[in-house]
Chains A and B, each alone.
Chain A
Amino acid sequence: MVASIVLSGVAIGCIYALIAITYNVMFSASRVFSFTAGTLGMLGGVLGSLFIARMGMPVAVGFLLALAGGAVFGIVTEIVAVRPVLKSLDQHLYVLSTLALALMIQQFTAIEWSTEPQPFPRLLDIAHVEFDQQFWLPMLACAAVIVGLELLYRHSLIGHAFLAIAEDNYAARALGLPERRLRMMSYALAGAIGALAGFAGGEMLLAFFANAPMLTFYGFVPVALGGMGNNRGAVVAGLLLGLFQQTANFLVGGIFASVAVFTVFIIVLLARPEGIASPALRRRV
């Protein structure tokens, strides 16, 4: 029993953590949060099912195509919903534009793909065991992304450029970094990470359009609790969230579990509005 809760909790926590990282990568590049992060997760599952199960492609090909699809949608987010509003004086328009885009993608998927969960293919043709691939695939994905991002930011020029844009936008531009192109690449990367989350979690979550609002909320909770732009905090918070949710599911049942998660979330957020990690000073006047 405990083993089962831990397994599913950590697995789903890794999916939430990956969505949180998606939020963070987008935030680092543009200083805005995008409602499309959860939708990208949903697309990872749907595209995976579409390419592999429905169109019959081999798993590796479907996987790469799904990631590519995520990257494309990430770029679409940047071009359609983020770039136009960054210029405007009203900084809050991005909430609305990304919300609109996310809704459009969700509704389109619901109508064209299906309103019911569709099967997600079994990725590795091996037998079922207790520690099944549906649990360790998300964990593997999460670990890979963390290591990959670490290598990217620390040891590659592009990674340094991403960090520079995130740290100090003006200075980076003054140094001649191509801000727009870097932002697009960041969004493409974020899109791929989101799609990876949905793909790796597909066997658990199935290919279902309604995963989008669920991931939008539960993927944001680790961001809020771990601190904006803070990937390590997001991962820790994501795992804790997954474990907490599955434990609550088991102890008090599905309905009260979401009440419990939300209550804890809002209490922590009100106590530390910037998250658990310490905030940066903002000059207002």
Chain B
Amino acid sequence: MSLTRRQALASGAAVIAGTMVRPAIAAKEPILIGYLPALTGPSSSTGVGINRGVQLAVQEINAAGGIDGRQIELITRDTQSDPTKAVNGAAELTRGQKVSVVLGPVNSGESLAVVPLLARANTPQIHPCWVDTLTDPKKYPMCFRNAPTNQQIGGAANRYVVEVLKRKKVAVISDTTGYGTASVNAYVPMLKGVGADVVYQGNIDAANPDLRPELLRMQSAGAEAIMPWSVNAGFLSRIINTRGQMGWDVPIVGQTTLGSGQTKALLEKPEYWAKVYPNNFRPVCYAAGGKLSDRTSAFVDRLKSAKIDMADTLLWWIALGYDTPRMIAEAMKSVGTEPEQIVGYLNKLTEFPGVYGDIAFTADRHDGYPDNEVVMVEANSLRDGAFNLAPGYGS
């Protein structure tokens, strides 16, 4: 009785399995690349921007014949800014779809859960998240980061405030997300290390509609600069607006989202965007003569001809999204699609000349972005998605 039932179950299961698991066949099968962006949800602005670059890169690679004649098939699972869905998506990509490599997730909160899972599944991963603990060549030998770390970002901002703008009394503020709290925890000691006096430090609920009490506290504590660390455009815009309403003349130096099109749209007056200096990246900024580097100009032209919108996002997100599949494609063209091959290639990568930055890895260092390419820019110089360097910056 039970044997028959099990047999029936097994045969039924085989049918199901056949539809779920992809059969492994031969050569001209597409190369499967998994992709875990946050396209919806509260932290989706990064993911949406990066996505535009990723899609463009994959289209271009495929149009040029793919990798050794094999097309790239990008398998996307929207994490919805939710770590639970990110884990589900990662499991599906590795065990269900059996992808060769995973791009993303793009938010730190999701990556914290996904990185160990991908490591267990022996799948190479490239992600652009900033939280420092998200790479560890010993624990996660297949995980690489092609973006700066929190240390690099914060270091550039802190140095700008203290050494260039010569402000010693600093207010550090962020929201209550993982990224926000980790940033504040990391940057306050760093600031003290470069000789600044942190007169205010706070994690504020991003939904709080009125930040005036917080700014008044900063003001009464004698703050000479405000440093916000959040990817929440609503939160950042409220800080900028309140400073403007108060007529308080202090620089705002901090997260790159301060300069995004989304933040700009939420400002009450365009004038408020003056003296706002977000992080950005030298390769995608206007140099001294007001011109982009050749590589970046060509890229921007390609974006315009592909009618990709830059106004409501940041150029560096698109550039980062564009570079990542191309770096993978080069790796696969050079050595093949097996995990060990890809990882071996990356561990010896001395320079990948991306639009966003020149990426390099070693076996001991999986953080690929160079220090000197992290810069500060002037938010209100936004033109076609790129910015001028902030005043006082050497070239």
Candidates A4, A111, A205; contact of B213 at CB < 8 Å? A4
CA distance in complex: A65, B234 (Å): 25
Query: What 0/1 readout, one digit per residue, does chain A (88-126) give for beta carbons within 8 Å of chain B?
Result: 000000000000000000000011000111110010000
Q: Is B32 on the interface with A (CB-CB < 8 A)?
A: no
Query: What 0/1 readout, one digit per residue, does chain B (33-51) give for beta carbons within 8 Å of chain A?
Result: 0000000111011000000
Q: Is A208 on the interface with B (CB-CB < 8 A)?
A: yes
In the bound complex, do residue B44 and residue A253 qualify as a contact, i.e. CB atoms below 8 Å apart?
no
In the bound complex, do residue A116 and residue B262 qualify as a contact, i.e. CB atoms below 8 Å apart?
yes
For B204, list chain A residues within 8 Å (CB).
253-254
For A119, list chain B residues within 8 Å (CB).
265-266
Q: Is B27 on the interface with A (CB-CB < 8 A)?
A: no
Q: Is A87 on the interface with B (CB-CB < 8 A)?
A: no
For the A-B complex, the count of residue pairs with Cβ-Cβ distances under 8 Å equals 75
In the bound complex, do residue A115 and residue B209 qualify as a contact, i.e. CB atoms below 8 Å apart?
no
In the bound complex, do residue A208 and residue B268 qualify as a contact, i.e. CB atoms below 8 Å apart?
no
Candidates A122, A201, A206; contact of B234 at CB < 8 Å? A206
Report, as a range, how many residues of chain A touch the other chain.
20 to 34
Given A128-B268, A255-B205, A115:B213 Cβ within 8 A: no
Q: Is A177 on the interface with B (CB-CB < 8 A)?
A: no
Query: What 0/1 readout, one digit per residue, does chain A (192-224) give for beta carbons within 8 Å of chain B?
Result: 000000000100111010110010000000000
Q: How far is the CB of A193 from chain B (nearest CB, A)?
A: 20
Candidates B44, B213, B233; contact of A8 at CB < 8 Å? B213
Q: Is B151 on the interface with A (CB-CB < 8 A)?
A: no
CA distance in complex: A122, B216 (Å): 23
Candidates B205, B212, B220, B266; contact of A117 at CB < 8 Å? B266
In the bound complex, do residue B40 and residue A5 qualify as a contact, i.e. CB atoms below 8 Å apart?
no
In the bound complex, do residue B210 and residue A254 qualify as a contact, i.e. CB atoms below 8 Å apart?
no
Least CB separation from B39: chain A residue: A115
For B216, list chain A residues within 8 Å (CB).
1, 4
Q: Is A170 on the interface with B (CB-CB < 8 A)?
A: no
CA distance in complex: A122, B269 (Å): 10
For A115, list chain B residues within 8 Å (CB).
40-42, 44, 81
In the bound complex, do residue B202 and residue A205 qualify as a contact, i.e. CB atoms below 8 Å apart?
no
In the bound complex, do residue B208 and residue A5 qualify as a contact, i.e. CB atoms below 8 Å apart?
no
For B202, list chain A residues within 8 Å (CB).
253
Given A117-B266, A255-B205, A5:B233 Cβ within 8 A: no
Q: Is B341 on the interface with A (CB-CB < 8 A)?
A: no
Most chain-A CB neighbours within 10 Å: which of B45, B232, B234? B234
In the bound complex, do residue A116 and residue B42 qualify as a contact, i.e. CB atoms below 8 Å apart?
yes
In the bound complex, do residue A116 and residue B213 qualify as a contact, i.e. CB atoms below 8 Å apart?
no
Least CB separation from A250: chain B residue: B213
In the bound complex, do residue B209 and residue A122 qualify as a contact, i.e. CB atoms below 8 Å apart?
no
For B244, list chain A residues within 8 Å (CB).
128
Given A116-B44, A117-B234, A246:B207 Cβ within 8 A: no
In the bound complex, do residue A255 and residue B262 qualify as a contact, i.e. CB atoms below 8 Å apart?
no
Query: What 0/1 readout, one digit per residue, does chain B (227-263) give for beta carbons within 8 Å of chain A?
Result: 0000011100000000011000000000000000010
For B42, list chain A residues within 8 Å (CB).
115-116, 210
CA distance in complex: A210, B206 (Å): 11
For B207, list chain A residues within 8 Å (CB).
208, 210-211, 214
Q: Is A189 on the interface with B (CB-CB < 8 A)?
A: no
Q: How far is the CB of B214 from chain A (nearest CB, A)?
A: 8
Q: Is A150 on the interface with B (CB-CB < 8 A)?
A: no
Candidates A12, A110, A258; contact of B209 at CB < 8 Å? A12
Query: What 0/1 readout, one digit per residue, does chain A (125-153) give for beta carbons within 8 Å of chain B?
Result: 00010001000000000000000000000
Q: How far is the CB of A245 from chain B (nearest CB, A)?
A: 9
CA distance in complex: A110, B81 (Å): 13
For B220, list chain A residues within 8 Å (CB).
1
In the bound complex, do residue B268 and residue A204 qualify as a contact, i.e. CB atoms below 8 Å apart?
no
Query: What 0/1 readout, one digit per residue, does chain B (169-205) give for beta carbons within 8 Å of chain A?
Result: 0000000100000000000000000000000001111
Candidates B208, B212, B245, B266; contact of A254 at CB < 8 Å? B208
Least CB separation from A121: chain B residue: B268
Least CB separation from A253: chain B residue: B202
Candidates A111, A246, A253, A258; contact of B210 at CB < 8 Å? A246
Candidates A118, A208, A250, A254; contact of B176 at CB < 8 Å? A254
Candidates A116, A211, A249; contact of B208 at CB < 8 Å? A249
In the bound complex, do residue A122 and residue B268 qualify as a contact, i.e. CB atoms below 8 Å apart?
yes
CA distance in complex: A116, B265 (Å): 12
For B268, list chain A residues within 8 Å (CB).
122, 128
Which 6 residue pairs across A and B have the least CB separation, nearest first? A254-B205, A117-B234, A8-B210, A204-B209, A250-B213, A128-B245
**Other than the known A1-B217, A115-B44, A118-B266, what 4 A-B pairs have Cβ atoms closer than 8 Å?**
A115-B41, A122-B268, A206-B266, A253-B202
Residues of A within 8 A of B (CB): 1, 4-5, 8, 11-12, 110-111, 115-119, 122, 128, 132, 201, 204-206, 208, 210-211, 214, 246, 249-250, 253-255, 257-258
A-B contact pairs, 23 of them (CB 8 A): A11-B210, A12-B209, A111-B40, A115-B42, A115-B81, A116-B44, A116-B232, A117-B234, A117-B266, A118-B265, A122-B268, A128-B245, A128-B268, A132-B245, A204-B209, A205-B209, A206-B234, A208-B207, A214-B207, A246-B213, A249-B208, A254-B203, A254-B208
